Structure 1
């Protein structure tokens, strides 16, 4: 008994340390009552507001309408409803409108940077015009059914991986580059555009459609990002006008597609935010001394 008392009295007090090896007299997995004093429940759980979540979901519905407009132009061009001259005029109008919006909404865009972007776009358009004959004959040996199946699959991949709150081209003043998923999404949309353009009758058709598709998939996220950063309410008005225009065009073309798109927009903008708010009450998070250490600074090098 005396030896046990001496042994217990000479025992060191247990300390809560991350490193330093095993403490004498204690097992490696030993903890006392003080270990759970630092436990915090639901420390990082954000309580979301239904109206704010619905407003944030407008960006998804907006881009779905943009993708629907691209598909409409594809179909109308394949059916010779839109000729190459009209498509080139549409390309020029979209390019000028996009530059105007960026100039009006971005304060850090200088004249020198504007000329730099203009030169890059000139090289881009020239290269696209040179490669138009290659795109025109690229899928000559592939059936149209396979082309449409691949195009639909690639467009779904594009929508699934697209960064709806970000951009595909880094805007002036932004610190972060586009994400990997965003780049994969952009590549999927470009391949789908090439497949569709290869079924057109002339090289000028191919060039006009490729230019239109790349303008929308490459520059439209940048334009919408600049609008949203400049004014959130302007972003909402722009989105509602775009959605109304898309729905009216599809209503004239096909009533069933109009119902499907309208149901999808309602599902994304109303039903999904409601579900997100409802499942928040089941979220349970425990934080404590067992969590991994997190850096409190950014590594820039």
Structure 2
């Protein structure tokens, strides 16, 4: 009797407090909780309610890059068929390089004269080195069969699309240091190797130089140009993406109808089915937060 009375009096004398680091509280067990334990429970506090229209508009960026890669493959196919001549490819390279610089200059706010000079020198060295190495690329896969080249190229393009970073947070503004992730580096290297394999099957060295310059311009600078365009105007980004998808579907249809059906199905799946699917599964997301979560310590540093 006396022990029970002493236990009851100790619990009434000492009120239980919820502390992160305080040791045993007198009169209470280590796992003791009072009636207010479940009052602090919060359900779905960090669950983001997504809007279907916003998710659809954000998914356009993925479809845009899919169409860019599809256009690169189309240029490869038409070049292998001798539809594009050497002069046409060089003219296309000059137009793409000028248009890319114009868009970056028009939409960026941090471009300076020194940065432009630095870019110009780097691109000049890059183009010169590519032209010098084009004879090596021309004879790189002479001893390998064409079927192996096509299969390896297709596998590398699929790997590039699978590992490519579609988030604009991975792209830095001009003039800042860019830290690519491991998967992004693998994706970029896969696209470069695929370009080398295609270039090694072309008839002349100038063809090799022109197609390599075209491919590297697209794979290296297209994400940056798209980022600058979206940052400048989201409406312009959406309109450009829709026009790009229409042009890509038109040329793919002229090349092969089965590829047109495949690309159309992928774009519909990415732009409509996946956003709707994401919105639907949000209804089943269930998150509980409460006093049992890991304690987050806040340190107030006063001068």
Equivalent position to 1:260, from 237, 254, 262? 262
- Which residue is equivalent to 2:215? 213
How many angstroms apart in 2 are the aligned matches of 1:294 and 1:143?
Answer: 61
Distance change in 2, residues 1:168/1:56 (3 Å): closer
Paired residue for 2:94, among 92, 95, 98? 92
Q: Which residue of 2 aligns with 1:243?
A: 245
Question: Could you tell me which residue of structure 2 aligns to residue 10 of structure 1?
Answer: 10
Q: Which residue of 1 aligns with 2:151?
A: 149
Q: Once the 2 structures are TM-superposed, how far is the Cα of residue 294 of structure 1 from its aligned partner?
A: 6.4
| 1:171 paired residue number | 173
Shift of 1:41: 0.7
Q: Shift in Å at residue 43 of structure 1? A: 0.9
Between the aligned partners of 2:266 and 2:23, the Cα distance in structure 1 is 58
Q: 2:109 aligns with which of 81, 91, 107?
A: 107
Deviations 1:97-139 (A, max 9, x none): 1001111111221222111111111111122222223322333
Note if contact 1:59-1:239 (Cα within 8 Å) is conserved in structure 2.
yes
- Distance in 1, matches of 2:280 and 2:27, equals 50
User: Within 2, Cα distance between the matches of 1:295 and 1:124?
Assistant: 51
Written as runs of structure 1 = structure 2, the 5 A alignment for 1:1-301 is 1-10=1-10, 13-23=15-25, 26-166=28-168, 170-172=172-174, 177-292=179-294
Taking structure 2 as the reference length, the TM-score comes to 0.88
User: Contact 2:61–2:166 (CA<8 Å) still a contact in 1?
Assistant: yes
Give ranges in structure 1 of 5+ residues lacking alignment.
Answer: 297-301
The 1:20/1:135 distance shift into structure 2, 3 A limit, reads farther
- Equivalent pair of 1:168/1:183 in contact (CA under 8 Å): no
Q: Highest Rg: 1 or 2?
A: 2
1:139–1:156 distance in 2 versus 1, CA, 3 Å = same
Q: 1:169–1:218: 8 Å Cα contact kept in structure 2?
A: no
Q: Deviations over 1:208-266 (max 9, x none)?
A: 11111110011011111101000011011111111111111112221221122112211
Aligned-residue RMSD, C-alpha: 2.5
**Distance in 1 separating the partners of 2:294 and 2:183:** 26
Structure 2: stretches of 5+ with no match in the other structure: 299-303
Q: In the alignment, is the contact (CA less than 8 A) between 1:39 and 1:286 conserved in 2?
A: yes
- C-alpha contact 1:227 1:235 (8 A) present in aligned 2: yes
Shift of 1:176: 6.5
- The 1:205/1:168 distance shift into structure 2, 3 A limit, reads farther
Quick one: structure 1 residues 167 and 40, their matched pair in 2 at CA, closer, same or farther if it must change by over 3 Å? closer
TM-score (norm 1): 0.89
Q: Quick one: structure 1 residues 138 and 285, their matched pair in 2 at CA, closer, same or farther if it must change by over 3 Å? A: same
